[in-house]
Amino acid sequence: MDYLQKEAARQAKNLLDFSSGGASARQGASSIKTAFLNLHSRDLERYSLARAIQSQIQSMYSDREAGGIEQECHDELVKRFDIPLGSIAVPMDVLTYRGPRPVYSVGVSAPRDLSFIDLLRNRSIAYRLGAQHLSDLKDDVAIPRQVSGTTIVWLSPTGSVTASDSAFGQVSGTPRQACIVTEVSEQLMRQSSADPIIKSGLAADMAVGLDAAVINGAGGLEPLGILNTPGIGSASGTNLAYAGLVGVQKTVADANAIMNPQGLGYATTPTVAEQLKNRQRFTGTDSSLWRGALHEGEIEGVLAVSSKQMLSATLLYGDWSTVYIGEWGPLLLSADRGGTRFNQASVGIRALWMVDVFVTAPTAFVKVTSIT
Predicted confidence pLDDT, tens digits, the chain (372 residues)? 333 333 333 333 333 333 334 433 333 333 557 888 999 988 988 888 888 887 777 665 555 555 688 989 999 999 988 888 888 898 888 877 766 544 434 444 444 444 445 566 788 899 999 999 887 788 888 878 777 788 888 888 888 888 888 888 778 889 999 998 888 787 777 776 677 777 667 777 888 899 999 999 999 999 999 999 999 999 999 999 999 999 999 999 999 999 999 999 999 999 999 999 999 998 887 799 999 999 999 999 999 999 999 999 999 999 999 999 998 988 898 887 654 566 677 778 888 999 999 999 999 999 999 999
Asked if residues 310 and 129 have their Cβ atoms less than 8 Å apart, the reply is: no
Domains and their CATH numbers in the chain: 1-99+117-143+172-372 (3.90.1690), 144-171 (no CATH)
pLDDT tens digits along 172-187: 889 999 998 888 787 7
CA atoms within 13 A on the CB side of 172: 5
Asked if residues 118 and 99 have their Cβ atoms less than 8 Å apart, the reply is: no
Note the pTM of the prediction, 2 decimals: 0.77
Nearest alpha-carbon partner for 343 in 185, 189, 201, 190? 185
pLDDT tens digits along 260-297: 999 999 999 999 999 999 999 988 877 999 999 999 99
> What's the rounded Cα separation, in Å, for the pair 316 and 321?
14
Nearest alpha-carbon partner for 89 in 36, 127, 132, 15? 36
Q: What's the confidence (pLDDT) of residue 262? A: 94
Calculate the dihedral angle through the C-alpha atoms of 333, 339, 340, 343, rounding to the nearest 10 degrees: 100
